[in-house]
Structure 1
Amino acid sequence: MRDALPAWWSGRGTPTTAPAETPSAPAAADGGEAHLRLARESLRELLDDTQVPPEVRARLAEDYATLERMLERLEGGRLHIAVFGRVSVGKSALLNALLGEQRFATSPLHGETVTATAADWQPDPSLPGVQRLQDGGVSLIDTPGIDEVGGEGRERLAREVAASADLVLFVCEGDLTDTELSALRGLADGTRPIVLAFNKTDRYTASERALLLDALERRTAGLVRPEHIVPCAAAPAERTVIRIDAAGRESESRQRPPVDIEDLRETLWDILASEGKTVSALNAGLFAGRFCERLAREVLELRRSLAETVVRRYSLGKGIAVALNPLPLADLAAVFADVAMIVQLGRVYGLPVSRGEAGGLMKTIAAQLALLLGAAYAGDLLSSLLKGLTFGLSTIVTASAQGAVAWYGTYVVGRAAERYFAQGRSWGEGGPKRVVQEILASLDRDSLLAEARADIMARLRGGT
């Protein structure tokens, strides 16, 4: 464990701020270039931080891989659009229509899409604002449907992909179901634009379409901007057309109406051109912030585990030393082993202390123990260990009882010192008395004493 963490960590083991600020507005005067630069710097700082313990890096390997992919996206200037919606609303067909080619599998059967797949989408240079897009291009990502029976894993994948996208294309085919509305609420967290594509409009009359669009606008108020609710028809169904010639003869044929996705195409490119860079930077910054929180928890958990190991090691050493060469119980708090333990705990938390500082901290804790338990607390502990035993005890049993008292005292001191360092060299609002009080209340004294005595006796009998 290293003695110190980066400057953006506090002594409590949680990040005080993210490495770089995240943008708070969906657009910027420079088209988002400054936001992108800050986001890239943030991700590089997290990835290149050599002070993160190797154990923590191993635990967060998947998160680090996501960071790397996100940084590659930012550096390459690529934007991601994820399509999201129920099974068979025409998600894959809509993406194919936008691409102008059959890249995504479609089928009349439910659940054709079972994994997330992507394709490059080249901008139309004639559309306004396209020249402001990054050079890296745009990826369209198809995801599984969210309501397929037995498809919980695929639905989870769809949500994860949508959550990391720069823009979500939510596809429906009419008024929203409860499932769709719930999913939309989960995605509308304000970090990325959402376009609601009302697909299969060829099924409805003009008046029916108007009613449905009005209903969609009302139901998605606060979730989707009204101008981002766009009717379209990605794969219009064939219909029967009857023609009557000049002689009055009828002829019947099957025809497919033209694809209707131009309004949707323009809406998507307009959003990407005006907000794409900033949204991409914002998503990266938010992910970096969440990553910092996870990293802090993992580091803190590692420190606590190391601290527990240190405290138990010194407690056992103290217990064996007293068992082999008993000291007056009143003098146990002054044993140098406690000071060495506190010095080591400071190193575990990246807050080194001198032996003098550690000695003062140890005396503060011991004083609170005496106040809370009384001057005869060590004698009471020893009495509880010897209770029920007859005279004629072997030396090893008596020695282990005395050693267990020393073990317990050092353990309480260590736990209190660990809390002090975990709180950034602070006792908190209640002071040292409150900390020691809480620790004593949290410990099962009898079981700890029994554990200590058993361990000490095993060591003594083993000749160690």
Structure 2
Amino acid sequence: MRGWLSRKTTQDPGTEPGAGDVHLALARESLKELLQDTRVPAPVRAQLARDYDEVRDMLEKLEHGHVHIAAFGRVGVGKSSLLNALLGENRFSTSPLHGETRQAGRAAWAREDAGGVFLIDTPGIDEIGGEEREQAAREAAERADLLLFVVEGDMTAVELEALRTLSDQGRPLLLVMNKADRYTQAELDQLRLRLMERTAGVLSHRNLICASADPRGGGAPQVEELITRLWTILEKEGRTLAAMNASLFAGHLSEAIGYRIIEVKRHVAQRVVRTYCIAKGVAVAFNPVPVADLAAAALVDGSMVVHLSRVYGLPLTRREAGTLVRVVVTQMAALMGTVWAVHLLSSALKMGTGGMSVMLTAGAQGAVAYYSTYVVGQAAERYFAMGKSWGEAGPRAVVAEILESVDRQSILRQARDDLSQRLGGEGS
């Protein structure tokens, strides 16, 4: 690598790579693995196309040894002026119009040994009616390796909240008190103490810097303290910063991929569950013999669980699926005895009348069967989504939560609609 890294990264042949080199290598491998992972379904890749483009950009950034420094803060605090002062030229707009910076802008720091360092200007975090600009600023900050949070005095509640949010991201953060020339030395000392108190536990005192990007009266910019601190960080931690940011981004994308994959699987799983709900409802409604009802129910539920296990890539045998169904049904019976009593009563009516009551009870019993399979399917889907686990609370808590969240009457109405369509078709 060249530029700002050259003085600190030159190694004698045969020496072990430094920590920064190791971090960079690991980060590059993480990004390459994300791009080359063939297990990610095509629909998920399509949904996350923009994120994958950013991974490619991040990988190119690492390959070229680039480091991005982004300025963040409210409208009017002098972010653009501060970056221009660092650059030594007016590259970023400093219009007095409120919220002139509409998108994140970038410029190379053409300072000696600054090859590969880019300064990024962002929209203000408090732009009225500018949610898109605020989002652009946040995204730029998330992609940067080092952040400058610019203020012009004591921090507002909005600024303090934003500072804490950025600090939680784990990136190096400098608080720059711009327009310092507007204060007397006594006022400046008092303001420093105030800012230190308010950022205690969030910001290191050495990362609180005073600057005057555009002094009153047309004097030269006073940014040497900021430049010194930036170069100290870059020379000491530059490679690690770039690697850390890439790793953070890779981690966020991995989470997003995992979430989208789960969503895709969940969508497929819900279609599977409904298909089996209808199949079980029809099987029970058409069979007047109670024992056969139970056999059909067990067969349908077991087949559904096997199907769901394959959707989630966690295949079960039919015996294992049967065990899972029994666990769920046992918890259902304990938690909602009334529904199961209705089911058993309907079966008893069938047996006592030799099947003559089928016309009266088949629809109701089919709907109850539909509902029971729906609950079994939801519980099984939750079990597979958690990696074949019920979690710390166990199956009873999972089933109880599902029963609590499900609108029973709505599901039963859906069951009657689905079954009436199917039964009507069978009868025609």
Give the TM-score category using the shorter length: 0.7 to 0.9
**Residue 105 (str. 1) matches residue 93 (str. 2):** yes
C-alpha displacement at 1:101, in angstroms?
1.7
**Residue 404 (str. 1) matches residue 392 (str. 2):** no
Note closer, same or farther for the CA distance 1:399–1:226 as it changes in structure 2 (3 Å cut). Answer: closer
**Residue 448 (str. 1) matches residue 411 (str. 2):** yes
Other-structure match for 2:110: 122
Task: Name the CA distance, whole Å, in 1 between partners of 2:38 and 2:322.
Answer: 32
Task: Name the CA distance, whole Å, in 2 between partners of 1:345 and 1:47.
Answer: 28
Task: Name the CA distance, whole Å, in 2 between partners of 1:269 and 1:382.
Answer: 81
Other-structure match for 1:158: 137
Amino acid at match of 1:270: T
- TM-score normalized by structure 1? 0.75
Amino acid at match of 1:46: L
Task: Name the CA distance, whole Å, in 2 between partners of 1:107 and 1:384.
Answer: 83
Determine helix, strand or coil for the equivalent of 2:280.
Answer: helix
After superposition, give the CA deviation of every residue in 1:308-360 in whole Å (9 maximum; x if it has no partner): 21121122123223444x15223333233333222111101211122333344
Note closer, same or farther for the CA distance 1:404–1:177 as it changes in structure 2 (3 Å cut). Answer: closer
1:319–1:404 contact (8 Å) kept in structure 2:
yes
C-alpha displacement at 1:266, in angstroms?
2.0
Amino acid at match of 1:176: M
Other-structure match for 1:306: 268
Amino acid at match of 2:26: L
After superposition, give the CA deviation of every residue in 1:241-299 in whole Å (9 maximum; x if it has no partner): xxxxxxxxxxxxxxx43332223222212211212221222222223333333333332
Determine helix, strand or coil for the equivalent of 2:267.
Answer: helix
Amino acid at match of 2:275: R
Other-structure match for 2:281: 319
C-alpha displacement at 1:30, in angstroms?
1.9
Residue among 367, 372, 378 paired with 2:343: 378
**Residue 281 (str. 1) matches residue 243 (str. 2):** yes
Task: Name the CA distance, whole Å, in 1 between partners of 2:76 and 2:394.
Answer: 62
Residue among 262, 266, 270 paired with 2:224: 262
Note closer, same or farther for the CA distance 1:222–1:401 as it changes in structure 2 (3 Å cut). Answer: closer
Note closer, same or farther for the CA distance 1:442–1:232 as it changes in structure 2 (3 Å cut). Answer: closer
- TM-score normalized by structure 2? 0.80
**Residue 355 (str. 1) matches residue 318 (str. 2):** yes
User: Runs of 5+ in structure 1 lacking a partner?
Assistant: 1-28, 239-255, 386-391
Note closer, same or farther for the CA distance 1:459–1:237 as it changes in structure 2 (3 Å cut). Answer: same
Other-structure match for 2:385: 422
CA RMSD of aligned residues (A): 3.3
C-alpha displacement at 1:140, in angstroms?
0.4
Output aligned runs, 1:193-342, within 5 Å.
Answer: 193-238=172-217, 256-324=218-286, 326-335=287-296, 336-342=299-305
C-alpha displacement at 1:82, in angstroms?
0.7
Task: Name the CA distance, whole Å, in 2 between partners of 1:236 and 1:404.
Answer: 77
C-alpha displacement at 1:59, in angstroms?
3.2
C-alpha displacement at 1:171, in angstroms?
2.4
Task: Name the CA distance, whole Å, in 1 between partners of 2:393 and 2:153.
Answer: 59
1:89–1:199 contact (8 Å) kept in structure 2:
yes
**Residue 461 (str. 1) matches residue 424 (str. 2):** yes
Task: Name the CA distance, whole Å, in 2 between partners of 1:207 and 1:79.
Answer: 36
Other-structure match for 2:61: 73
After superposition, give the CA deviation of every residue in 1:213-247 in whole Å (9 maximum; x if it has no partner): 44444443333333333333322333xxxxxxxxx
1:99–1:121 contact (8 Å) kept in structure 2:
yes
Aligned residues: 402
Task: Name the CA distance, whole Å, in 1 between partners of 2:333 and 2:198.
Answer: 65
Note closer, same or farther for the CA distance 1:224–1:319 as it changes in structure 2 (3 Å cut). Answer: closer
Amino acid at match of 1:234: A
Note closer, same or farther for the CA distance 1:433–1:272 as it changes in structure 2 (3 Å cut). Answer: closer
Determine helix, strand or coil for the equivalent of 2:26.
Answer: helix
Other-structure match for 1:24: none
**Residue 140 (str. 1) matches residue 103 (str. 2):** no
Determine helix, strand or coil for the equivalent of 1:118.
Answer: strand
Amino acid at match of 2:268: L
Amino acid at match of 2:78: G
C-alpha displacement at 1:438, in angstroms?
5.0
Amino acid at match of 2:202: L
Amino acid at match of 2:125: I
1:171–1:199 contact (8 Å) kept in structure 2:
yes
C-alpha displacement at 1:161, in angstroms?
1.7
Other-structure match for 2:51: 63
Other-structure match for 1:169: 148
After superposition, give the CA deviation of every residue in 1:157-201 in whole Å (9 maximum; x if it has no partner): 223322331111222333434443333233222612222333333
1:123–1:269 contact (8 Å) kept in structure 2:
no
After superposition, give the CA deviation of every residue in 1:74-133 in whole Å (9 maximum; x if it has no partner): 2222111111223233222221221122211223444332221110113424xxxx7xxx
Note closer, same or farther for the CA distance 1:365–1:184 as it changes in structure 2 (3 Å cut). Answer: closer
1:329–1:378 contact (8 Å) kept in structure 2:
no
Other-structure match for 1:191: 170
Residue among 82, 87, 105 paired with 2:75: 87
Task: Name the CA distance, whole Å, in 1 between partners of 2:178 and 2:395.
Answer: 65
The percentage of aligned residue pairs carrying the same residue is: 52
Determine helix, strand or coil for the equivalent of 1:462.
Answer: helix
Task: Name the CA distance, whole Å, in 2 between partners of 1:218 and 1:101.
Answer: 35
Greater RCO between the two (CA within 8 Å, min separation 6)? 1
User: Runs of 5+ in structure 2 lacking a partner?
Assistant: 1-16, 351-355
Higher gyration radius (CA):
1
Residue among 153, 159, 181 paired with 2:160: 181
After superposition, give the CA deviation of every residue in 1:394-450 in whole Å (9 maximum; x if it has no partner): x76654344334434433443343343334333455655555555455544454344
Determine helix, strand or coil for the equivalent of 1:341.
Answer: helix
Task: Name the CA distance, whole Å, in 2 between partners of 1:367 and 1:217.
Answer: 59
